[in-house]
Amino acid sequence: RMAINTACNELNQPWFESGVSENAVSGHIQFILPGETACFACAPPLVVASNIDEKTLKRDGVCAASLPTTMAVVAGFLVQNTLKYLLNFGDVTAYLGYNALQDFFPTMRLKPNPGCDERNCRERQLEVAKRPKPVVEVVVQKEEEPLHAD
């Protein structure tokens, strides 16, 4: 994922990232817009942030926990969010978590880290900061008159 992140930051290419936790009962999806939302290097998983070789975590004869149901739920969220982005309908979720033990679905928008280790991410952040801020127009709608008098 770090290589994909680097390439997408360099090309200014939006991409989707997802994962299932080691306990197999939670996961997440994330839509990464270079410079606008946190990239994978802005807030990497602990194993990546600690520069731990994932191969050292694996032991012979021991399989990391995995539940097909959790993977299917996360994959379903990822596909649905991708379709919303590609077909331009609904709100594309920047981040959606999934915790099966508590039926908890946190959503948030992760801001990019100004001190991100990824050089292209920092460059994209500067580009986004230079863009003019969008003007938000407030429209006040007049309430309709009742159809009948009571």
Whether residue 63 lies in the annotated active site: yes
Nearest to 76 by CA among 105, 48, 45, 111: 105
For the chain, report the end-to-end CA distance as a whole number of angstroms: 64
Which is catalytic among the residues 8, 42, 63, 121? Answer: 63
> Between the CA of residue 93 and those of 60, 75, 121, what are the distances in Å?
38, 14, 20
SS3 for 27?
Answer: strand
**Which of 126-139 are b and which e, b meaning 16 or more Cβ less than 10 Å from the residue's Cβ?**
eeeeeeeeeeeeee
Asked whether the beta carbons of 15 and 92 are under 8 A apart, the reply is no
Catalytic residues: 63
